[in-house]
Structure 1
Amino acid sequence: MDSKKEMEKELESELVIRFQDCDPFGHLNNAKYLDYFFNARADQTLLYYGWSPLKLSQEFNAHWVVTNHQISYLRPAMFGETVLVKTALIFFDHNSITTECQMLDKEKTQLKAMIWTTLRNVSMQTGKSVDHSEKLNELLSNMIIPDTHYTPLGYYDRLQKLKDYYKSLSAKG
């Protein structure tokens, strides 16, 4: 992959909420949001960038494990509903990355859920944290979205900004 070319930073795709993932009221089960977010990100990176998480791990010797989730459920996703999932890299440092995933209604006017997931790069041999390679840092620099102003404690500030933004869109339509 040519990491110098301009990369799409905010990826999105539509998903349909499946029956087996819902509770008796037709709401997407809370635990299933993680599956929808992770699968959307994996599908999107394949579609937009041409690589899967496994290919990325092999090419860059990056083996990430989840260290933290911050998730908010704002509006239910319902059985049979088509939702839009947006994902983006919002932070990285020498050995970790944080992605943001948003689940929206199909019209992109209502935020249903948001998650920040932080992953740490670990050695396959020792299981201990290791630094990203220079090549991987260059790739991550091209993927990160600008102006998120990530701080580990900034989740709720970001959530409020998104809620306000989608509320203003909803009021216009």
Structure 2
Amino acid sequence: MKIKEPESKYRVRFADCDPIGHLSNLRYFDYMLNAREDHCLENYQLDNFEQSKKTGCLWVVLQNQIAYIKEVRYNKDIIITSKIIKYTDRTNTIEVLMLNKDKTLTHAALWVTFIYFNLTTRKSEIQPQNFMDLFQEICVNIPENLFEERVESLRRQNKKII
């Protein structure tokens, strides 16, 4: 059984913070996307660059949606989780959450939708069956269908903690 929602631990570094000691908005993307790349490689042996060399196809980003829910401060330990929450024959959407070290508070939520893209034809393609089988195995159903609904739900959960 494959891990559906892998996670990584990070420490927020001084160089990644703004002048008031909060993690810089752009650095959220770096932390979250790097974590997802690590999760895919370590848990599913998926390397987008290697995939493109073998097949001429890779996943490219169609859309990002991010919500900064609770600030992250310098030198704090955080947990970043990622999971596939939706997929079609050509696209998949992942959710990446940045959480406190106890995973009780959500700092940020990111949804990224990717399309499977042929570098030669410059067009989308249907994802190979082996990937569709993997996505079916690891997809995590969440109760919310829209990003805004998901963020509101995470904010409500945070209020119960704070």
Aligned position for 1:13: 8
More strand by share: 2
Specify every segment of 5 or more residues in structure 2 that has no aligned partner in the other structure, as ranges. none
Identity across aligned pairs (percent)? Answer: 30
Any residues of structure 2 matched to 1:6-85 within 5 Å, and which?
A: 6-57=1-52, 62-85=57-80
How far apart are 1:126 and its partner, in Å? 1.8
Aligned equivalents of 1:68 and 1:7: distance in 2?
A: 26
- Partner amino acid, structure 1, of 2:7: E
Normalising to structure 2: TM-score of the pair? Answer: 0.89
1:121/1:51 CA distance change after superposition, 3 Å: closer
Q: Mind listing any 5+ residue stretches in structure 1 that lack a counterpart?
A: 1-5
Post-superposition CA distance 1:68-121 (Å, at most 9, x none): 111100111111111011110001101111000111111112111001001111
- The equivalent residue for 2:150 is 158
How many positions carry a matched residue from both structures? 162
Q: Which amino acid aligns with 1:9?
A: K
User: Aligned partner of 2:155: which letter?
Assistant: K
Cα deviation code 1:14-50 (max 9, x no counterpart): 1111222111111111111111111111112233234
RMSD, aligned α-carbons: 2.0
Over 3 Å counting, the alpha-carbon distance change for 1:149 and 1:109 in structure 2 is closer
The 5 A counterparts of 1:89-168 are: 89-146=84-141, 148-149=142-143, 151=145, 154-168=146-160
Q: CA offset at residue 124 of structure 1?
A: 1.2
The TM-score with structure 1 as length reference comes to 0.84
In structure 2, the residue corresponding to 1:162 is in which secondary structure? helix
